[in-house]
Amino acid sequence: MLHKLEKLPYDMDALRPFISKETLLVHYGKHHRNNLDKLNELIKGTVFENLLLDQIVLTAPSGAIFNNAAQAWNHSFYWKCLSPAGGGVPRGAIASAIQRDFGSFGAFKIEYARKALSTFGSGWIWLTLDDSGNLGISSTQNADSPLARGVTPLLVLDIWEHAYYLDHQNNRAKYLESFWHIVNWDFVAENYALALSERPFRIAHVRLKQAPEYAAREAAAHDMSGIEKLGSGAAAVLRRATSWRSPTAMRPRRSWAFGGGAP
Ligand SMILES: [Fe+2]
């Protein structure tokens, strides 16, 4: 399956003055595209060749395939977290959950900013939902994704410098300030509603990561040569892993069908 760069949900200059067209041309048009091009190259002839993007993120061991798949998935998610009509405050159930778990929307923003400004180097800042129904703020380094950790992402901020250098140079705080003006709270609310209604799907993530076959494969295959050595055994693990998602109770989320052609 060829993973294609999906269309941005807005025009290149629609996020101005908070994110410029120049930034999107490089960030979306080069960085994101590059991750997909590399991924398509890397998965040729491997057990990952016919998997959807999120299935690769869930099953690939540490290494280039995971990095490019996760980075592509994270970027697709990030574009949807932004909107020219965004900003303001969340409404409805997600607003209540933020108030419940952080005390207030203002306290949530302070905590999110603290995480964004204290995280060293490149990565992503997430609002997530765990399997106990609690919201949390966390960071992942480089290409890592909460998908691979069994929690559900609701919102993300890309803190790689390529996300803000053209607009704010190295001033991450200015970029964060801009971010609050364009957060797509409707998308966050939709993710929250889906996560609550599809709990078995999230449990499947945890089961996948706890599977002994996965642990063995993770230990044995830190690069593609490891995967090749495992051969059909790895393919069998992948078949079992992906079959956990095939029943209707675990159908892929429609908002998560990022990058790639038809399954
Ligand atoms: Fe990025």
Instruction: Identify the weakest region by mean pLDDT among 29-43, 133-147, 204-218.
Output: 204-218
What distance in angstroms lies between residue 169's CA and the mean position of ligand 1's atoms?
A: 15
Domain hosting residue 33, numbered range: 21-82+206-256
* CB neighbour list of residue 207: distance below 8 Å, 6 or more residues apart: 244
DSSP 137-183: EEEEETT--GGGGT-EEEEEEE-SGGGTHHHHTT-HHHHHHHHHHHB
What distance in angstroms lies between residue 247's CA and the mean position of ligand 1's atoms?
A: 33
Residue scoring higher pLDDT (226 or 31): 31
pLDDT grade for 198, boundaries at 50, 70 and 90: low
What distance in angstroms lies between residue 9's CA and the mean position of ligand 1's atoms?
A: 16
Residue 15 lies in a domain: no
What distance in angstroms lies between residue 27's CA and the mean position of ligand 1's atoms?
A: 6
Number of domains in the chain: 2
* CB neighbour list of residue 182: distance below 8 Å, 6 or more residues apart: 15, 18, 19, 82, 83, 84, 86, 87
Cβ(240)–Cβ(207) below 8 Å? no
Residue 262 lies in a domain: no
CATH number at residue 158: 3.55.40.20
Most confident of the following: 177-181, 242-246, 256-260: 177-181
Q: Are residues 101 and 190 in the same domain?
A: yes
pLDDT at residue 218, rounded to an integer: 44
Q: Are residues 96 and 194 in the same domain?
A: yes
Nearest to 124 by CA among 146, 139, 111: 139
What distance in angstroms lies between residue 24's CA and the mean position of ligand 1's atoms?
A: 10
Strands 135-141 and 123-129: antiparallel
What distance in angstroms lies between residue 136's CA and the mean position of ligand 1's atoms?
A: 22
pLDDT grade for 199, boundaries at 50, 70 and 90: low
Residue 7 lies in a domain: no
| Residues, the chain | 263
pLDDT in tens, 131-161: 788 999 999 999 998 887 778 899 999 999 9
Question: Region 228-238: what's the mean pLDDT?
Answer: 41
Q: Are residues 99 and 57 in the same domain?
A: no
Q: Are residues 124 and 174 in the same domain?
A: yes
Residue 3 lies in a domain: no
What distance in angstroms lies between residue 164's CA and the mean position of ligand 1's atoms?
A: 9
What distance in angstroms lies between residue 125's CA and the mean position of ligand 1's atoms?
A: 12
Boundary of a domain, candidates 184, 200, 216: 200
pLDDT in tens, 51-87: 888 888 888 888 999 999 999 999 999 999 999 999 9
Cβ(230)–Cβ(214) below 8 Å? no
What distance in angstroms lies between residue 203's CA and the mean position of ligand 1's atoms?
A: 28
Q: What is the mean pLDDT of the chain?
A: 81
What distance in angstroms lies between residue 142's CA and the mean position of ligand 1's atoms?
A: 10
Cβ(68)–Cβ(46) below 8 Å? no
What distance in angstroms lies between residue 225's CA and the mean position of ligand 1's atoms?
A: 28
The yes-or-no verdict on residue 30 having pLDDT over 90 is yes
pLDDT in tens, 89-120: 999 999 999 999 999 999 999 999 999 999 99
The yes-or-no verdict on residue 217 having pLDDT over 80 is no
Residue scoring higher pLDDT (86 or 198): 86
* CB neighbour list of residue 254: distance below 8 Å, 6 or more residues apart: none
pLDDT at residue 52, rounded to an integer: 86
pLDDT at residue 163, rounded to an integer: 95
Q: What's the start-to-end Cα distance of the chain, in Å?
A: 8
How many other CB atoms are there within 10 angstroms of residue 146's CB atom? 25
Count of CA atoms in the C-beta half-sphere (13 A) of 91: 5
| Tokens encoding 180 | 């609050």
Residue scoring higher pLDDT (78 or 227): 78
Residue 13 lies in a domain: no
Q: Are residues 147 and 237 in the same domain?
A: no
pLDDT at residue 151, rounded to an integer: 82
